[in-house]
Amino acid sequence: MDIGKMLTQLGSGMVISIEIFLLTLLFSLPLGLVLSFGRMSKNRIIKSAAKIYISIMRGTPLMLQLMVVYFGPYYIFGLKISAAYRFTAVIIGFALNYAAYFAEIYRSGIESMPVGQYEACKVLGYSKIQTFGKIILPQVVKRILPPITNEVITLVKDTSLAMVIAVSEMFTTAKAIAAAQTTMVPFVVAAIFYYIFNLLVALVMEYIEKKLNYYH
Amino acid sequence: MNLLEINHMKKGFDGLGVIEDISLTVKEGEVVSIIGPSGSGKSTLLRCATMLETMDDGELIYLNEKAAWSEADINGSHSVYASKADLKRIHKHFGLVFQNFNLFPHYSVLKNIIDAPMSVDKVSKKEAIARADKLLKQLGLEDKRDAYPCQLSGGQQQRVSIARALALQPKILFFDEPTSALDPELTGEVLRVIKELAAENMTMIIVTHEMQFAKELSDRIIFMEQGLIQEQGTPEELFSSSNERVNEFIGKF
Ligand SMILES: Nc1ncnc2c1ncn2[C@@H]1O[C@H](COP(=O)(O)OP(=O)(O)O)[C@@H](O)[C@H]1O
Ligand SMILES: [Mg+2]
């Protein structure tokens, strides 16, 4: 196999890794916010449910969760699993898992907001939705950016776990080529890919952080 | 006309009474100062009047419209509040200036002032900016229009928070120790602004420890202790009171 063909194959793996990354963020960031509301709910049942959910998602391996999401429909409901479901299962598994981590980050950010901000809003007549959307959330985003960055960087590396249900993302592809061709080259390419990916993530997050630095 | 009427307000926390029984009427254009030792319930009174806290019992009336009234129950009586829609309307009658400003740090000075009129009162942007510019000029903050709160001194921040409250054109403005969080050299500029508002006949209820200021500006001073109004009257009456506690308290300043 020539190096060009190898890179083409690895390239399509990279695209899938990036898709997993972006779709996971797209779904888990809002889902995490909803979950954090559940976690902070005054309703005991909702609060406990959210707490248990977060605890399980953070307390068990993501690899295992992916397998449950993928094989669950067959083992539990006897449904036939199509190959196309693989990618969907990966996105569901990642989104459910990362939402739990993001929920705790949102919660810590929201709970760190001084009560005076809420009281000012209330006296000025803002609705609850306006208070949260205009005043609280923008400030929370600034506060939680560092822990969010950590999670996002972990996510880049975690995309390789999709291998467990044979989604041909970057790492799955690299491993397959390496085994067939008995060469280390695909692993080196994979390492460079993840490293540069994370470098870009760090740059983007740094840019956002700078953008929000106009106040403190 | 009475802008505010509080009848037999009671409020406790965890069974401990903080406001024991307070009645208070404020007429249009009146400036009322509330003084009293720390822990006497002054902030709680303002927080109940501005509905940041719910009273346990008593009546709260703005411009003859009842925000809350007392209803009998098996233990005696308790406050019942008006409907959400009514409260929303009543809310527009008053503003509150906090001890520690509570400005929105991510908004510029201008945005702090125009945002509530626009998003709460649905005032047009043009009108909101016109109001804000007028207030900024009046409060000597024109050059701070585009600054952020973190770039301002405490005195400037407090003036912005006064402008923010005034932009909603309240009929009555409450102040909870507006200069207590400021360095002594910055209190003057805030007190001056409040005096100017008094000169324009703004109705105000001011909790303060600035005795000289209260004396100069108030139509009436209320001395509060242990959740009760112990004494009230014109500044002359209060400062020549025969009440020992009042004298002892004023004497400390
Ligand atoms: N949210 C609250 N929970 C419990 N106790 C409170 C609360 N707010 C005020 N108190 C108590 O009520 C009393 C009066 O407080 P406050 O109204 O702040 O007095 P002042 O403003 O005159 O210093 C204090 O003993 C205070 O500890
Ligand atoms: Mg107080």
Q: Where are the beta strands (DSSP E) in chain B?
A: 2-13, 16-27, 31-35, 57-62, 65-73, 76-81, 94-97, 172-176, 203-207, 220-225, 228-233
Whether chain A has a CB inside 8 Å of the CB on B121: the answer is yes
Tell if the CB–CB gap between B100 and A116 is shorter than 8 Å: yes
At B174, list the tokens.
């409450």
Report the chain A residue with the minimal C-alpha distance to residue B89: A125
pLDDT in tens for each of the 253 residues of chain B?
A: 899 999 999 999 998 999 999 999 999 999 999 999 999 999 999 999 999 999 999 999 999 999 999 999 998 899 999 999 999 999 999 999 999 999 999 999 999 999 999 999 999 999 999 999 999 999 999 999 999 999 999 999 999 999 999 999 999 999 999 999 999 999 999 999 999 999 999 999 999 999 999 999 999 999 999 999 999 999 999 998 888 888 889 887 7
- Distance (Å, rounded) from C-alpha B221 to C-alpha B210? 12
The string over A82-97, giving b where at least 16 C-beta atoms fall within 10 Å of a residue's C-beta and e elsewhere, is eeebbbebbbbbbbbb
Q: How far is the CA of A165 from the centre of ligand 1 (A)?
A: 59
- Determine the residue type at B238: L
* A112 contacts chain B (CB < 8 A): no
A216–chain B nearest CA distance, Å: 7
Q: Please name the residue of chain A whose CA is at the shortest distance from the CA of residue B52.
A: A119
Q: Is the CB of B44 under 6 A from ligand 1?
A: yes
Angstrom distance (rounded) from CA B205 to CA A101: 47
Ligand at shortest distance from the CA of B45:
1
ipTM value greater than 0.90: yes
How does pLDDT run along chain A (216 residues), one tens digit per residue?
678 888 888 888 889 999 999 999 999 999 999 999 999 999 999 999 999 999 999 999 999 999 999 988 888 888 888 878 889 999 999 999 999 999 999 999 999 999 999 999 999 999 999 999 999 999 999 999 999 999 999 999 999 988 878 778 888 888 888 888 888 888 898 899 999 999 999 999 999 999 999 998
CA-nearest residue for atom 21, ligand 1, is B43
Residues of B in contact with A214 (CB under 8 A): 148
Indicate yes or no: CB of A117 within 8 angstroms of CB of B104. Answer: yes
Q: In the prediction, which pLDDT does B71 show? A: 95
- Residue owning the nearest CA to atom 8 of ligand 1: B44
Nearest partner of A154 among A19, A14, A21, judged by Cα: A21
Q: What is the pLDDT of residue A186?
A: 87
| pTM for this predicted structure | 0.92
Report whether residue B144 contacts ligand 1, using a CB cutoff of 6 Å. Answer: no
Partner A contacted by B164 (CB < 8 A): yes
| Closest residue in chain B to residue A128, using alpha carbons only | B120
**Rounded to the nearest whole angstrom, what is the distance from the C-alpha of residue B44 to the centroid of ligand 2?**
7
Name which of B186, B231, B241 is nearest B35 in CA terms: B231
Question: Helices in A78-184 by DSSP H: which ranges?
Answer: 85-111, 115-124, 128-130, 137-158, 170-181
Nearest CA in chain B to A117: B102
Question: Ligand 1 within 6 A of B18 CB?
Answer: yes
Per residue in A11-43, pLDDT tens?
888 899 999 999 999 999 999 999 999 999 999
Ligand 1 geometric centre to CA of A49 (Å): 35
Residue A109: predicted pLDDT: 97
Q: Is B31 helix (H, G, I), strand (E, B) or coil?
A: strand
Q: B96 vs A123: CB contact, 8 Å cut-off?
A: yes
Contact A126 B106 (CB under 8 A): no
Residue found by looking up tokens 């996105």 in the block: A91
CA of residue A126 to ligand 1 center, whole Å: 25
Nearest C-alpha neighbor of A94 from the set A20, A152, A168: A20
Hey, what amino acid is at A9? Q
- As a CATH number, domain A3-211 is 1.10.3720.10
Predicted pLDDT at A1: 67
Q: How far is the CA of B47 from the centre of ligand 1 (A)?
A: 10
Ion ligand 2 neighbours, Cβ < 5 Å: B 43
User: CB of B96 within 8 Å of any CB in chain A?
Assistant: yes
pLDDT for the residue A199: 94
Structure tokens given for A131: 């208070």
List the structure tokens of A117.
Answer: 């901000």
With a CB cutoff of 8 Å and minimum separation 6, the contacts of A37 are none
